[in-house]
Amino acid sequence: MLKLIDGNNQLKRLFHAMGPGALETLFMEALTPPQGTRLIWVWDGKNANARRREQFPGYKRSDGHVADDFYHVTDLFKEVLTHSAAIQIEVEGYEADDVIATLAQGTEDQVVIQSTDQDYYQIESSRIRVLSEKERKMPAEDIRLFKTMVGDKSDCIPGMTRFGETAFKKLLPSERQVLKSYFRGNTDHTAEEVAQFLELKGKALENWLAEQDQLKTFWSIIGFYEVPLDLMSGAMKPGTPNLQAGTALLHKYMLTMPVPEVV
């Protein structure tokens, strides 16, 4: 089995819940994974957001912040993981989501993805399972369309103006399918013809027609980019299990590092 961990997502979540003790818990889990399990921690690469921000500058730009001290915790934990059985991957120019999706879809093994990011539901199948504590708002096959039309606050994607979750839930299966085909470019239907099929009127019609380019951009960036295999191979960093070294590193930093704020 292949277990893929969304590094930034999981470290931040568990540190917020458990404090510094989360580092030791995660290290011990990575030190001796269950037999038959290959454990890979995947991190956002340098300039990970640049590819999507070229299309939509507002992508993942918010007023919130992550305290600088937390970046030190992340760097520390990456170093600690070098003393575990985990493999780490960090590909420049790609988000962890892209790397995880490429790995999950490029193997015939059973795959478990550990993350609260619901984007991964797009690739869930009988072979690929997503472990998340968050409640699912939509079936896996509708996640990408939902985030395109309604938006995704976590990624600062606004969706279509005045088109909320209630409006989305009112869409019939046939209407959702028409929208998916339209955004995928699998149909010759024009925006006007799609609007007619959906029976959009008034402001909804105006917004749909006025925001076509932006909605197509949202559809694009919500999907996953395939990461070249040679880049992933070159970015893989296998760890060497060493309980004493990993624990010593953790204890050294625990004594000197202030507890960071996690937002």
Residue 152: the pLDDT is 92
Query: Which residue spans within 115-173 are E strands per DSSP?
Result: 128-131
SS3 assignment, position 118: helix
Q: Is the pLDDT of residue 120 over 80?
A: yes
Residue pLDDT, tens place only, 35-77: 999 999 999 999 999 999 999 999 998 655 555 567 788 999 9
Residue 73: the pLDDT is 87
Domain definitions of the chain by residue range: 2-138+224-256, 142-222
CATH no., domain 2-138+224-256:
3.40.50.1010
Token pair, residue 150, equals 């309604």
Q: Is the pLDDT of residue 259 over 70?
A: no
Give me the residue label for tokens 């000197």.
Answer: 256
Distance CA 165, CA 55 (A): 24
Residue 255: the pLDDT is 54
Distance CA 246, CA 234 (A): 24
Instruction: Report the share of the chain in percent with pLDDT over 70.
Output: 92
